Amino acid sequence: MKSGFGAGRLRGASLRPSLSALVRLVLLAAVDFGLGVFAQSLLDNGATLVAWFVVAIAVIVTVIFLSRRLYPLRWIAPGLALLLLFVIYPVVNTVHTAFTNAGGGHLLTKEVALSQLAERTYTPEGDSAYAWTAYRADDGTFILHLTRGGHAVFARSSGAHADLPAAAPAKPPPSFDGYARLTKIGSVRYLTELQNGGFREVNGRLVAITSLDEASEQRQRYAYDSATDSVKDAQTGVVYKAKDGTFTSAIGVPLSPGYTASVGTRNFSRILSDPNVRGPFLGVFVWTFVFAGLSVLTCFALGFVAALILNDTKLPGRGFFRALVLTPYALPIFIGASIWVGLLNPIYGPVNGLLDFFFGISPSWFTDANLAKGALILIGLWLGFPYMMLITLGALQSIPKDVYDAADIDGAGRLGSFRYVTLPLVLASVSPILVGAFAFAFNNFTLIELVTKGGPANVSTNTPAGHTDILLSYTYRLAFTGGEGIDYGLAASVTMVIFLIVAAISLINFRLTRRFRAIYDLA
């Protein structure tokens, strides 16, 4: 009995892994099938790059779940998939876009642009018009009875099920193959659908309704020649050759729409060579560094002073004052920034009211470029110094009392202790945080957008650059709000410049962290 029971238990144990493996394979096959269908739909819509990323995710997940050596990675496989799709793909796509002409008029693939051009038609000169009568079926499709020069023919809309004869009765019949004839009033009711019906005769000729009484034959206007990579206009005979994502005639007339095409490093050269881009870009570039530097410097200075005051054990109500100072930091940035926009309103804002009462002035905070920049620094100081106060307060409290005792013995005094003990040790602790704060301020799009929206506008350029725009907000306006259309290619190239700058800042941060850690250890 024991041996039989043991054998049965062993057989059950041997069956369980096989069953679990089978379930795992079925689930994995279902996931791969779903990802494959998704990738195919992306390919059908021209999203080739993201489709290949979906395929890569399917391959990686499959390999991980089928390999015994990669078993631990199964627990983070969903995270790896999301990392590829939402982090790596946007980076790769941005780099790819920086070397293309993607933007207004160049958002489609070449195949889609050609298909749209192929759908355009024209009415041949000299062709007489048809008289038409419309018929409608219960499924919403239409056919037309067309007469011209004593000859009658039927034409059907897309999806119509009628079996059309080679010739039609001279007079429109009351009904035909399940289609009921419409009166003129009934035709007016469906006129929009009739004009968009895409009617074709039995011989394949396209017919379009041009008025309540007439229809005309239509012919394909643009034909693509793959051998010469050009499009010919059948109506005018003009040939348009492909050039940088646009089919352009010999005299420089473009066809719309264009398509996304590679332009090499043209977007990067525009930053340096195009005066309409170089001028505002350099101004925005310098202001971004000034804004980030002043934001960090002022916030650290005020936060350090507040920390020194609130670190004094003799100060009554220290807890209350600490909580009070943290209030701006506790408020969401959009609330704090919006409050300050109201306070600085030049018409009814209390700040201008006080300035006008005491000094007789009413500054235009958001229409004067220098005052707008000052307002941003002021609001950034109000929102950011509580964080610096917290950081420096923690650094102050971590300094050993023995160090101050040694400084007193050496006769350093209060000023000497601050200069040679407090300040160096605090900087050793917070310098990496200051570098990180600089990188944050460097990309502080939220504050710019909430307070000034990049304004006041820079009227000396035709690119969407405001006097208070930083690189990130400038990139956003280039991509989405440009006066001459969106320009994803140029915006992506500026994004790569920002990435290189932030990467350099991060490298400095890592080096400062090691250096100041060594200084702190020596202290």
pLDDT in tens, 204-262: 888 999 888 899 988 889 999 999 999 999 999 999 999 989 999 999 999 999 999 99
pLDDT at 519: 54
Average pLDDT over residues 89-96: 91
Band the pLDDT of 522: cuts 50, 70, 90: low
- Quote the percentage of the chain above a pLDDT of 70: 93
On the question of pLDDT at 328 being above 70, the answer is yes
Place of tokens 């059907």: 156
On the question of pLDDT at 432 being above 60, the answer is yes
Give the residue among 47, 65, 54, 45 at the shortest CA–CA distance from 88: 54
Q: Please tell me the distance from the alpha carbon of residue 31 to that of residue 28, in angstroms, as a whole number.
A: 5
* Beta strands at 130-136 and 121-122: parallel, antiparallel or unpaired: unpaired
Band the pLDDT of 521: cuts 50, 70, 90: low
| Bridge partner residues of 152 (DSSP) | 147
pLDDT at 2: 47
pLDDT at 305: 93
Residues with Cβ < 8 Å from 253, sequence gap 6 or more?
238, 240
Per-residue pLDDT tens over the stretch 164-201: 888 889 899 999 888 999 998 889 999 989 988 889 88
387 touches 361 (CB < 8 A): no
Average pLDDT over residues 16-22: 70
Which regions of the chain carry the CATH code 1.10.3720.10?
271-522
- Quote the percentage of the chain above a pLDDT of 90: 37
Fold classified for 271-522 = MetI-like fold (1.10.3720)
What string of DSSP letters covers 354-369?
HHHHHHS----TTTSH
Model pTM score: 0.72
On the question of pLDDT at 18 being above 80, the answer is no
Furthest-apart CA atoms within the chain: distance in Å: 120
Lowest mean pLDDT, pick from 41-45, 150-154, 263-267, 392-396 = 41-45
pLDDT at 513: 65
On the question of pLDDT at 298 being above 90, the answer is yes
On the question of pLDDT at 279 being above 80, the answer is yes
Q: What is the CATH number that goes with domain 2-98?
A: 1.20.58
Helix (H) or strand (E) holding 175: strand 175-176
pLDDT at 460: 77
On the question of pLDDT at 100 being above 90, the answer is yes
Residue 412 or residue 385, greater confidence: 385
Residue 450: burial class (beta carbons within 10 Å; 0-12, 13-18, 19+)? middle
On the question of pLDDT at 7 being above 80, the answer is no
Please tell us whether the domain made up of 121-220 is placed in CATH 1.10.10: no
pLDDT at 77: 86
Lowest mean pLDDT, pick from 15-19, 256-260, 387-391 = 15-19
267 is written with which tokens? Answer: 């977007």
pLDDT at 12: 45
Axis crossing angle, helix 275-310 with helix 266-273, rounded to the nearest 10: 80
pLDDT at 16: 52
pLDDT at 179: 93
Q: What is the dihedral of CA 169, 171, 175, 180, to 10 degrees?
A: 130
pLDDT at 27: 87
Helix (H) or strand (E) holding 239: strand 239-243
Which regions of the chain carry the CATH code 1.20.58?
2-98
Band the pLDDT of 158: cuts 50, 70, 90: confident
Average pLDDT, the chain: 86
On the question of pLDDT at 324 being above 90, the answer is no
Q: Please tell me the distance from the alpha carbon of residue 476 to that of residue 487, in angstroms, as a whole number.
A: 10
Average pLDDT over residues 59-71: 87
Residues with Cβ < 8 Å from 222, sequence gap 6 or more?
117, 118, 120, 231, 232, 233, 234, 255
pLDDT at 517: 58
pLDDT at 119: 86
On the question of pLDDT at 490 being above 80, the answer is yes
pLDDT at 13: 46
Reading across the β-sheet that carries 230-233, which strands appear in turn? 222-225, 230-233, 239-243, 246-248
On the question of pLDDT at 401 being above 90, the answer is no
Q: Please tell me the distance from the alpha carbon of residue 361 to that of residue 21, in angstroms, as a whole number.
A: 79
Count other C-beta atoms under 10 Å from residue 501's C-beta: 17
Q: Please tell me the distance from the alpha carbon of residue 231 to that of residue 219, in angstroms, as a whole number.
A: 15
Residues with Cβ < 8 Å from 198, sequence gap 6 or more?
157, 158, 206
Helix (H) or strand (E) holding 181: strand 179-181
Q: Please tell me the distance from the alpha carbon of residue 454 to that of residue 187, in angstroms, as a whole number.
A: 53
Q: 52: which DSSP letter?
A: H
Count other C-beta atoms under 10 Å from residue 67's C-beta: 11
Residue 238 to residues 2, 125, 225, 241, 253, Cα–Cα distance (Å): 94, 17, 13, 10, 10
Q: Is the dihedral of CA 321, 326, 331, 335 positive or negative?
A: positive
Which regions of the chain carry the CATH code 2.40.430?
121-220
Give the residue among 55, 187, 207 at the shortest CA–CA distance from 128: 207
First to last CA, the chain: 76
pLDDT at 166: 83
